[in-house]
Amino acid sequence: LAVTHDFLPTVMEMLNVNRSKAQTNWAMDGKSIWPILDGELWENTAEGIREVGFGFARSNRDMAGWGYRWGNWKYVVESYGCTAAECQEPLLYDLANDIGERKNLARRKPPLRITMKRKLRAWVNSLER
């Protein structure tokens, strides 16, 4: 899993460029995918399994329309892409076995759903920094 904000840290690593001392405390959501391009798996990198949060322009801080990816798992709060009643509940998908996102596992896997909700909340809170 790679996302647009991985571009800057990847290029910085490829060029062996470090941030200035004044910028070391600045948040950077992206991660270098250079190890992945070199054949490594996320699981074997220093960061471990890939995690990334995402939100939509219409989203607000209550997390409606926001989501989180953790390895093969995807968690979404109140999907904007689906207007059916069941899409307004928390959505949890195992993308390794359900790439089409047809089987919501949120009710079947409460501990994982809670973990994903906590991860999403932590990511959303990190945007405040």
pLDDT greater than 60 at residue 58? no
Whole-number pLDDT of residue 60: 54
Mean pLDDT of 65-87: 86
Amino acid, res. 66: W
Contacts of 26 (CB under 8 A, 6+ apart): 19
129: confidence class by pLDDT, cuts 50, 70, 90? low
**Mean pLDDT across the chain:** 85
Report the alpha-carbon distance of residue 28 to residue 12 in Å, rounded: 12
61: confidence class by pLDDT, cuts 50, 70, 90? low
| pTM as predicted | 0.74
CB neighbours of residue 123 within 10 Å: 19
